[in-house]
Chain A
Amino acid sequence: MIEVKNLVKRYGDNTAVRGVSFTVEKGRIYGFLGPNGAGKSTTMNIITGCLAATEGEVTVGGYDIYEDPVEAKACIGYLPEQPPLYMDMTPYEYLEFVGRAKGLRGDKLYKAVEAAVTKTGLTAYADRLIKNLSKGYKQRVGIAQAIIGDPEVIILDEPTVGLDPRQIIEIRELIRELGQDHTVILSSHILPEISAVCDYVIIIAKGRIVASDTLENLTRLYEGKNYVDLIARGDEDKIRRIIESIPGADSVELDAGEIGRVHARIAMQKEVDIREDLFFRFADAKVPILSMEFEEVTLEKVFLELTGDHFEPTVSEPEPTEEDVRMTAEEIFAAQAVQNVQKPTDEPAGEPEPAPAPEKAEKPAKPAKNGDDDDYKPLFGGN
C-alpha cells in the first residue's frame, strides 16, 4: 500500500530522517514508535505530501507522491500532530469542506459527513463552532476529517495526545474499528498506546528505524527472555558448570567480583523458572548463594534501550542500504547479544583466576546489586 525507500530529510545542517525504509501492507494497523524528536512526524509529513524529502521516494497505492501527488493523496486521510481546524467553522461545515475537497459531491458528501460525525461521536457537537469545543472534541474533529470519504490509508500523528483516559480508550476503540477495513498508521511516543492497538510496530530513533516487526514477534523475541541475577561465593568454573547443567538456562555471563564472589547473569526461557533448580543444585554443590534476583524484560525496557542515547544501531555505520535498514527484530536482538557478550573482553584476559587482584575489589560486581552485597556482609563476615 505504502512503500517508503531510503527517506532522508535535512533541515540545513540538521538531519531529521536518515535513510528510513519500510513497507505498509493493506489492512493492518501500524504503530510508529519513537521518542520525541525521533523523526516520526517528519516521516509522516513526507508520506502525506506535506513535506518534500531531501532524498528517497514514497509511493502510495502505486502512485509516487511527487510524480502523481493528487492520485496518491486521494488514498490518504491524514491527521497531523496539531489538528488543522478552521476555528470559525462548525464541525459540519468543516467536514463538508474536507469532503468536497476530496472530491465528494451531493448525496455522497452528505452521507460521508454523517458517517464521520457518527463514528467519532460528534453528533451532539456538530453544530457548535470548533473554537468552542474542548481539546478532546477538537481532536475528534481532526480524526473525522482524516476518515471522511473512506480513504484506504489513515495516518494519525499522535491521535490521543491531550485526551482524558476515557477519551483515549474511545479513540483506541475507534482506531481498532477503523483497522478492520482500512490501513492505519499511527504514531506515538508511548509504548502501551501502540501495543494496545497495533499489529505491527516500527520503532524509530534519531531518524533511523531501529526495529520493525509484528508486535507478537517483538514480544516473543524481547520479552521471551527473563534474567536471574545471582551472586554466589565459589569457584567461577564450578559455578559455570552448575548453571550450564540446568535445563532452561540459555546463556550465562560470569563476572568475578570481590574475593570469592561471582556474579552471574543467567538468561532463561520465559516459560520456565529455574530459580528453584538453581537453589538446590548450588546447595548440593555446597556453593552458597549470596543473593538472587529475578528480572523480567518488558517491551518498555527494550524500547528504552533501543531508543536511548547509548544504543547505536549497527545499521548506521555503512551507508544504510535497504536490507540493512529493514533489520528485523531478530537481527537487532542478535546484535545486542553480541554487544553484551563482548563486554567482558574489555577487561584483562586473565579472567579464569578465581582470586581477583586487590584493585578489582573497588570494581562493583554489578552496580545495581551493590547495596544488597553490603547487606550480606555482616551475615557471612565470620566465614
Chain B
Amino acid sequence: MSAVYKKELKTYFTGMTGPVFICFILLMTGIFTVVYNLQGLYPNFEVTVNQVVFVYLLAIPVLTMRSIAEEKHSRTDQLLYSLPMSVTSIVIAKYLAMVTVLAIPVCVMAFYPLLLATFGTVHLASAYGMLLAFFLLGASLIAIGMFISSLTESQVIAAVVSLAVTLLVYFMSGLSNMISTDASVSLIGFLAIACVIGLIVNAMIRNTVLALSVTGVLALATVGVYLVDSTLFAGAIPDILSAISLFDRLTTFQNGMFDLTAIIFYLSVCGLFVYLTVQSMEKKRWN
C-alpha cells in the first residue's frame, strides 16, 4: 500500500497537477483573506473559508481526473492487478495520496488565523472547525471524483463529468428551492427515482425481469404511501436534496457551531465512494 501511495504522491509532484492544484487554492484563499480579513477588517476566518469553497469546483476534477482513468488508458492497471496487493488497498492508497495533496494547502491555511490573531481577537476554535469541515468536504469531493475517474478510460471525460457533478452538488440547495413543495411533485420525483434504480439494476446484473420487478415494487410502495398519507410527501424531494447537499453543511460551521453530524456525513461520503471505486475496479476484472 505504501508503495502505491508513494508512487502516486510522486507523480503529482513530478507533473504539474500537484503544484497547480496547491497554488490555485492558496492564491484564491490569499485573495479572499486579504479582501475580507485584512482590508475588510473582518475577524472571522470561517467566513472567508466558506467564500473560498468554490475553488473545489475547478481544482478537484483536475486533481482526480487522472487517478484511475490514466491507469486504465495506459494499461498499467494490469500491473496493479497482478501485484500482491488487494484492490482495496490500491484504491485507498490512491485516495490517501490525493487527500495528502489537498492537506498541503489546508495546512498552509491553518497558519492564517494565527497570523490574523496577532492583529486582534480571532475565534480560533470556529476557524479551525471550519477548516476541518472544508478539508473533509474536499476529501468527499475527491472520493466522488475518483469514482468517476474509475468509470472511464479518458481523463477528459473524467474531468468534465466530475466538474458537472461537483457543480450539481454545489447548486443543489439552490435547485431544491426551485422545486415545488407540492406532494404530487414529490410523488413524480420518487417514481422517477424508482425508474432510475431499475435502470441501474438492469445495467449491473443484466436481468430485465428483476429490474422491472424492483421498479414495480418501489413504485407500488410509493403510490401506496402517497394514498395513505399524502402529507408525508409535501416538500419531501427538496428536503432530501438539501439534506444530501455537501456544500450546505458548511453554513453551520460558518455560524460558529461544530456540527458532528456533518463530519460523520462527510466521512460516510468518503467511505461510500471509495467503496464504489473498489467495486468499479473489481468489476473490470469480472466483465
Q: B-contacting residues of A (Cβ < 8 Å)?
A: 11, 45, 48-52, 69-71, 73-74, 76, 78, 80, 82, 84-88, 93, 97-98, 100-103, 145
Which residue of B is nearest A73, CB measured? B84
A98 touches B79 (CB 8 A): yes
A88 touches B15 (CB 8 A): yes
Q: Is B279 an interface residue (CB 8 A)?
A: no
Whether the pair A50, B83 counts as a contact (CB closer than 8 A) is: no
Measured between alpha carbons, how far is A102 from B201 in the docked complex, in Å? Answer: 37
Is B83 a contact partner of A80 (Cβ separation < 8 A)? no
Contact with A along B1-37 (1 / 0, CB 8 A): 0111011001100110000000000000000000000
Q: Which of B70-78, B156-164, B225-233 contacts A (4 or more CB under 8 A)?
A: B70-78
Q: How far is the CA of A227 from the CA of B74 in the complex (A)?
A: 50
A51-B285, A88-B14, A100-B2 given; A74·B84 CB < 8 A: yes
Whether B287 lies near A70 (C-beta < 8 A) is no
Q: Please tell me which one of the listed residues A78, A93, A103 contacts residue B82 in the complex, with CB atoms under 8 A apart.
A: A78
Q: A11-B287, A86-B74, A101-B4 known; A145 and B79 CB under 8 Å?
A: yes
CA distance A82 to B75 in the complex (A): 7
Beyond A84-B74, A85-B76, A100-B6, whether A52 also contacts B285 by CB under 8 A is yes
Give B216 Cβ to nearest chain A Cβ, in Å: 27
Residues of chain B at interface, number, CB under 8 A: 24
Which residues on A sit within 8 Å (CB–CB) of B81? 48-50
Chain B residues whose CB sits within 8 angstroms of the CB of A87 once the complex forms: 74
B263 within 8 A of A: no
> Bound state CA distance, A88 and B83, in angstroms?
20
- A49 near B82: Cβ-Cβ < 8 Å: yes
Q: Is B255 an interface residue (CB 8 A)?
A: no
B86 at the interface (CB under 8 A from A): yes
B221 within 8 A of A: no
> Is the CB–CB distance between B76 and A101 below 8 Å?
no
The 10 closest A-B pairs by CB, nearest first: A84-B79, A100-B3, A101-B3, A74-B84, A50-B81, A73-B84, A84-B76, A78-B82, A80-B78, A48-B82
Determine if B84 and A84 form an interchain contact, defined as CB atoms under 8 angstroms apart: no
Rounded to whole angstroms, the CA-CA distance of A69 and B10 in the bound complex is 27
Q: Which residues of A contact B79 (CB under 8 A)?
A: 80, 84, 98, 145
Are B285 and A73 in contact (CB-based, < 8 A)? no
In the complex formed, the residue of A with least CB distance to B11 is: A88
Taking a contact as CB atoms under 8 Å apart, the answer to whether B76 and A76 are in contact is no
In Å, the complex CA distance between A48 and B285 comes to 11
Please, which residue of chain B has its CB at the minimum distance from the CB of A88?
B14
With a CB–CB cut-off of 8 A, which chain A residues contact B7? 86, 97
Q: Are B286 and A97 touching (Cβ within 8 A)?
A: no
Query: In whole angstroms, what is the CA distance A101 to B4 when docked?
Result: 7
DSSP majority for the B interface?
Answer: helix
Which of B82, B86, B286 has the most C-beta atoms of chain A within 10 angstroms of its own C-beta?
Answer: B82
Q: How far is the CB of A10 from chain B (nearest CB, A)?
A: 10
Chain B residues lying within 8 Å of A11, measured Cβ to Cβ, are 287
Return B3 CB to nearest CB of chain A, in Å: 4
Interface pair B86/A69, CB less than 8 Å apart = yes
Alpha-carbon distance A70/B85, docked complex (angstroms) = 6
Most buried by A among B4, B74, B84, B286: B84
| Closest chain A residue, CB of each to CB of B89 | A70
Shortest distance in angstroms between B223's beta carbon and chain A's nearest beta carbon? 36
- B3 & A76 in contact (Cβ 8 Å cutoff): no
Residue of A nearest to B206 (CB): A12
**Nearest A residue to B76, CB-CB:** A84
Decide: B84 and A71 in contact? CB cutoff 8 A. yes
Given contacts A85-B74, A86-B11, A101-B84, 18 further A-B contacts (CB under 8 A): A48-B81, A48-B82, A49-B81, A52-B285, A52-B286, A69-B86, A70-B85, A71-B84, A76-B82, A78-B82, A80-B82, A82-B78, A84-B74, A84-B76, A97-B6, A100-B6, A102-B83, A145-B79
Q: How far is the CA of A77 from the CA of B113 in the complex (A)?
A: 52
Would you list 22 pairs from A and B whose C-beta atoms are within 8 A, ordered by A residue? A49-B82, A49-B285, A50-B82, A50-B285, A70-B84, A71-B84, A73-B82, A78-B78, A78-B82, A80-B78, A80-B82, A84-B76, A84-B77, A86-B74, A88-B14, A100-B2, A101-B3, A101-B84, A102-B83, A102-B84, A103-B84, A145-B79
Instruction: Tell me which residues across on chain A come within 8 A of B78, comparing CB atoms.
Output: 45, 50, 78, 80, 82, 84
Contact B14 A101 (CB under 8 A): no
- Which residue of chain A is the closest to B86 with respect to CB atoms? A70
CA distance A78 to B11 in the complex (A): 23
CA distance A70 to B287 in the complex (A): 21
Q: How far is the CB of B96 from chain A (nearest CB, A)?
A: 15
CA distance A173 to B74 in the complex (A): 29
Distance in angstroms between the alpha carbons of A76 and B285 in the assembled complex: 18
